[in-house]
Amino acid sequence: MFFYAARQPILDRNKELFGYELLFRDGVENAFPNIDGDEATSKMIEGSQFAFGLEDFLGDKPGFINFTIETMVKKYPSMLPAEQVIVEILETVQPSKRLLAECIELKAQGYTLALDDYIHKSVWRHFYPYIDMIKIDFRKTSRAQIEEIKLVLADYPHVQLIAEKVETNEEFQQALEQGFTYFQGFFFSKPEMMQTRALSPSQLALAELLYETSKADIDLVKITEVFKRDVTLAYKLLRYSNSAIFKRRVEVDTIKHALVVLGQTELKKFLSLLFTAQISSDKPAELMRLAMTRANFAEGLASIGNIVALDKAFLTGMMSLMDAILDEPIENVMAKLPLANDIKEALIAKTGVLADFIRLIECYENANWDEANTIIKLLGLDTKKVPDAYHKAVQWANEQMKALGELA
């Protein structure tokens, strides 16, 4: 599953990039989908929270995102960082006391506000102290109307004008003469399509659970509530906790009971397994098997060396193939997941003991025994125990693949 959006640059008077307008798309076709503004804004917010980081699309530039009055009242803008976002109030929003109250609140929180496709009405004067930018459709607004807008804004010099739909050089020169600060339109660039792999609701719940179980003090009540919100996850948890791989006689009949029976260590394993399995559903099964082998082998190495926490080693091994699974650079993947810094450093910067574990695992995968022995000595591991840990990991991965197949 992918999240789609388009971005169109907004330039300054020197034709240098100032920022982008982010536009929601529902597929590879570069056109606005047949949905209302509330849904488009909601999906854009959801995407920026769970599918991509704003910096993926914006770099270090601000992004204009459209908001309706309903999404403003629901406080959606506050879900995004004020330094990255310019709250663009859609032209369909009418000036009202409710809108003014939202603008005042957002301004107090440090947000930059813009009015989209502005059509002058005297009532907008009440908003000028809190508005930073006004977008004007350059093709629909006459010279006289533009001059009228500039006249009423004379007492508010902080308000900057953006010329929209500038499609020719002549229009750009005219907009320059009329004092516009920023410019947007096909003359500079059509919206550029971008996409990123999105996470499904179950995957989002799993990411939340990974975060909760990474805390020093695990909140069992909160974790239980997350499972209760997702029927599929709850079912798989109960099935897994009753799996034959644990060789238990006790029957598990509630989510809380299943969590207690599994214990923290097995729960963390289960979550990382399930997360990887879900996002690799359209990938070869062998890739999932390899990720599980890496996870268990890394845990085994941690057990031999007693130099890093077992669950942290397990999760690092599991996540080490996430770039291949998601078809994204590992830096982008790690930015989306709430993992410990040393795990991210191991996978991105390839530094630290965990990174040495991954290098050793790769040596085993490639039968590079000379380098493997060098790393084993560097880590001070027992050379006789490492091969056994690898063979155990391969066997464990096969068992887990069978168990996960039963849960599918």
Give the list of residues 6+ apart from residue 248 with CB closer than 8 angstroms, or none: 242, 261
> What DSSP string describes 288-316?
HHHHHHHHHHHHHHHHHH-SS-HHHHHHH
Confidence grade of residue 66 (pLDDT, cut at 50, 70, 90)? confident
Residues comprising the chain, all counted: 408
Burial class, 205, CB count within 10 angstroms (exposed 0-12 / middle 13-18 / buried 19+): buried
**Predicted local distance difference test score (pLDDT) of residue 282:** 64
Count CA atoms within 13 Å of residue 87 on its CB side.
31
For 201-407, CATH gives: 1.10.3210.10
Range of lowest pLDDT (136-150, 223-237, 299-313, 391-405):
223-237
Domain 2-197 in this protein, CATH class: alpha beta
> By percentage, how much of the chain surpasses pLDDT 90?
32
Mean pLDDT calculated for residue range 173-195: 75
Residue 94 has pLDDT above 60, yes or no: yes
**Predicted local distance difference test score (pLDDT) of residue 34:** 42
**Predicted local distance difference test score (pLDDT) of residue 351:** 94
Residue 163 has pLDDT above 70, yes or no: yes
Residue 44 has pLDDT above 60, yes or no: no
Burial class, 289, CB count within 10 angstroms (exposed 0-12 / middle 13-18 / buried 19+): middle
Note the pLDDT tens digit of each residue in 232-272. 677 677 667 765 556 555 655 567 877 888 888 888 777 77
- What single letter denotes the amino acid at residue 136? I
Note the pLDDT tens digit of each residue in 289-309. 888 889 899 999 999 988 898
Whose tokens are 């991105």? That residue is: 348
Range of lowest pLDDT (52-56, 206-210, 310-314):
52-56
Per the structure block, which two tokens stand in for 330?
A: 């590992």
Residue 274 has pLDDT above 80, yes or no: no
Domain ranges across the chain: 2-197, 201-407
Q: What residues form DSSP beta bridges with 25?
A: 4
**Predicted local distance difference test score (pLDDT) of residue 135:** 95
Residue 63 has pLDDT above 70, yes or no: yes
Residue 28 has pLDDT above 50, yes or no: no
Confidence grade of residue 31 (pLDDT, cut at 50, 70, 90)? very low
**What's the mean pLDDT when you consider all of the chain?**
80
Mean pLDDT calculated for residue range 300-319: 88
Closest CA to 82 of 54, 110, 116: 110
Q: Which has the higher per-residue pLDDT, 325 or 96? A: 96
Q: d(Cα 44, Cα 20) in Å, to the nearest integer?
A: 14
From residue 258, give the alpha-carbon distance in Å to each of 4, 217, 255, 344. 38, 19, 5, 30
> By percentage, how much of the chain surpasses pLDDT 70?
75
**Predicted local distance difference test score (pLDDT) of residue 150:** 94
Confidence grade of residue 38 (pLDDT, cut at 50, 70, 90)? low
Q: d(Cα 282, Cα 164) in Å, to the nearest integer?
A: 42
Answer yes or no: are the C-beta atoms of 213 and 315 closer than 8 Å.
Answer: no
Highest mean pLDDT (candidates 61-65, 141-145, 246-250): 141-145
Mean pLDDT calculated for residue range 330-356: 87
Q: d(Cα 361, Cα 319) in Å, to the nearest integer?
A: 13
**Predicted local distance difference test score (pLDDT) of residue 30:** 32
Answer yes or no: are the C-beta atoms of 301 and 172 closer than 8 Å.
Answer: no
Give the list of residues 6+ apart from residue 77 with CB closer than 8 angstroms, or none: 67, 71, 85, 87, 106, 111
**Predicted local distance difference test score (pLDDT) of residue 374:** 95
Longest dimension (CA), the chain: 86
Mean pLDDT calculated for residue range 343-356: 94
Q: Which has the higher per-residue pLDDT, 125 or 4? A: 125
Confidence grade of residue 102 (pLDDT, cut at 50, 70, 90)? very high
Confidence grade of residue 277 (pLDDT, cut at 50, 70, 90)? low
Q: d(Cα 98, Cα 100) in Å, to the nearest integer?
A: 5
**Predicted local distance difference test score (pLDDT) of residue 199:** 52
**Predicted local distance difference test score (pLDDT) of residue 25:** 45
**Predicted local distance difference test score (pLDDT) of residue 357:** 97
Q: d(Cα 299, Cα 314) in Å, to the nearest integer?
A: 5
Highest mean pLDDT (candidates 45-49, 170-174, 200-204): 170-174
